[in-house]
Chain A
C-alpha cells in the first residue's frame, strides 16, 4: 500500500512541482495517473520508490516512511520503469541487462537464469537474448527496460509512459500483462497521456494539474467528464466523444468501452426497428 500524505515537493531550481498531494493506493489496485505536461506526474511517482523525498509531508510504502529506507531497499518492492529506456541500458547483451538488477538484489545464479528466460519470453525478446540493447529499435529498447524490472517480480510496479512508441500488438500485450498482475494482487501505477489505452483498461484514474490532484475516480466516470478533463488538457476517448454528441437522443454519456458501445447501439437499433414494425 502506498500512502501519500499532503506532500509538497520543490526542485532545487525553485519549481514547486507538488503542492499538497494526498493519495492512497491499495494493494492490487491499478491506477493511471494522467494530466498535462509538467503537471508533476513523474515527480509524484518518483516519491513512491524514494528517488525523491518530500519537502513537506510523508510518503509511506507498506507503512515504511520513504525517508527512512534506501532506494535500493525500496526498489526490491517497488519496480520503476523510466520514461526513456536510454537512461538505463548499458550492458553488452539484452540478457545481461535483465540480469543486472537481479545481481544487485543478490539472487542466486540459477534463479537469475530462470528469471531472465521468463522475462525475455514474457516480452517477446527471446530472439534478442545475445543482441546488444543498443542495436534494437526504440520500441524494443523500451521492452528491454520493462523486462529488466519485471524480472525481479516487484510487488508494486510503476510505469512512466509505457505505451509510447509501441504498436497496437505490444500495447495489447501490455494490457494483458497488467491485468495478469492485477489478478496476482499486485499494484500497478502507470503514468500516461494515452487516453485510448486507459479507456481500454478501465483503471482508477488520478488526474493531475499544476502539482495538484484535480480528480480521482474510475476511468468510466473521469474520462467522460469533459469539464474535468479540460483542466488537465485531455480530451475524452473517441468513443465517449461520439456518445457525448449523441446524448440528446437518449444515449448514456458514460461509455468508454468499444464493445459496450456496440451493444448499446445494437439494442437501440433493435428497439427502433420494433417500433416501426
Chain B
C-alpha cells in the first residue's frame, strides 16, 4: 500500500505541477533511457541526485520518501540477486567490483522509480487525459482512462471497508491451506466487483442525464499550452540526453573504488 501511496497524485501548487504532462513524460522516458545506458555506479548516483531538487521544488518530499521506502523492498531483492549471482559467477577476488556492480543495478531501479514517482505525484489524471487528447487519442478512450485512474483510490478504500465488514462476520483471511485462503477472498471480491459494476452503470446514467457526448466538437476549459518552464525542462532534458550519449562513447567512466583508493586496498 505504502508504495502506491507514494505514486498517488496530490493537489499542490508548484512549478513542477504546472508543467505540461507531455514534457514531463518526455523527461521520464529520457531518464529511463539514460539510466539503462549506464551500468556504472557514479553516473547513476549523479542521476539520482539531480532529481532531488525537482522533488523539493514540487513540494512532495514526504510522499516521495514513502515511494522510496516502498521501493526499498524490491531494491534489496535486486541487490541480493545481483550480488549472489555475480559472486557465484566471478568468485571471491572480484568482491569490491561485484559490490559496486550490484549497487549500480539497484540504484538504476531506484532512479527509475524516482522519476516515475515524480511524474505521477505531480500530474493530475485530468492533465494526463488532456495530454492524451492533444495526442489525438479519441475522447472516449481519454475519458475512460481518466475515470479508471480516478477510481483506483476509491476502489482501494472500498476493498478495505468490505474486508472490515466480512471480518466483523467472523471471516479469517489467513486461515486454512492455500486453496482455502484463496477461497476466503470470494466474500471480498464479489461485493467489490458488484459495487464497481453498479457504480459504473450509475456513472453512465448520471453522465447521460448531463448530456454527455451531445456536441461533436468538445472544447476544454483548460487548454494545455507549452510555457517557459516547459521549454526549460525540455531543453535541459535534451542537453542531458546529448551529454549522456556523448559521455557513454567518449569518456571512460571511473569506478568509485578507483576514486577512493582506500576501498580498493582491501
- A interface list, Cβ under 8 A from B: 12, 46, 49, 51, 70-72, 75-76, 79-80, 82, 84, 86-90, 100-101, 104-105, 134, 148-149, 152
B95 at interface, CB cutoff 8 A: no
Q: List 29 A-B contacts (CB under 8 A).
A: A12-B5, A46-B164, A49-B168, A70-B172, A71-B168, A72-B170, A72-B171, A72-B172, A75-B170, A76-B170, A80-B165, A80-B168, A82-B161, A82-B164, A82-B165, A84-B161, A86-B198, A87-B162, A87-B165, A87-B195, A88-B191, A90-B190, A90-B194, A100-B169, A100-B187, A101-B169, A104-B170, A149-B168, A149-B169
CB-contacts of B146-197 with A (<8 A): 158, 161-162, 164-172, 186-187, 190-191, 194-195
Contact A88 B162 (CB under 8 A): yes
Question: Using Cβ atoms and an 8 Å threshold, which residues of chain B touch A86?
Answer: 191, 194-195, 198
Residue of B169, B187, B194 with most partner-chain A CB within 10 A: B169
Q: Which residues of B contact A (CB under 8 A)?
A: 5, 158, 161-162, 164-172, 186-187, 190-191, 194-195, 198
**Among candidates A46, A87, A105, residue contacting B170 with C-beta atoms closer than 8 Å:** A105
Which of B5, B168, B172, B190 has the largest number of chain A CB atoms within 10 A? B168
B170 to A101, Cβ gap below 8 A? Answer: yes
User: Assuming A46-B164, A82-B161, A87-B161, is B194 touching A75 (CB within 8 A)?
Assistant: no
Alpha-carbon gap, A90 to B5, bound state (A): 29
Neighbouring A residues of B168 by C-beta, 8 Å: 49, 51, 71, 75, 79-80, 82, 149
Closest CB-CB distance, B186 to chain A, in whole Å? 7
Q: Chain B residues with Cβ under 8 A from A72's Cβ? A: 167, 170-172
User: In the complex, A46 Cα to B164 Cα: how many Å?
Assistant: 9
CB A100 to nearest CB in B, in angstroms, measures: 6
* Shortest beta-carbon distance from A84 to chain B in Å: 8
Among residues of B, the one whose C-beta sits closest to the C-beta of A84 is: B161
Contact A88–B169 (Cβ < 8 Å): yes
Name the residue on B nearest A134 (C-beta). B194
**Assembled-state Cα–Cα distance A79/B167 (Å):** 11
- Per CB-CB distance, the 7 closest pairs between chain A and chain B, nearest first, are A104-B170, A90-B190, A101-B169, A80-B168, A88-B165, A71-B167, A87-B165
Asked if B186 and A90 make an inter-chain contact with CB atoms under 8 angstroms apart, the answer reads: yes
Chain A residues whose CB sits within 8 angstroms of the CB of B186 once the complex forms: 90
Q: A residues within 8 A CB of B158?
A: 87
Contact yes or no, B166 A88, CB < 8 A: yes
On chain B, the residues within 8 Å of A49 by CB distance are: 168
What CA separation (Å) do A52 and B24 show in the bound complex? Answer: 40
B5 CB contacts on chain A under 8 angstroms = 12
CB distance from A40 to the nearest CB of B (A): 16
State whether A51 touches B164 (Cβ < 8 A): yes
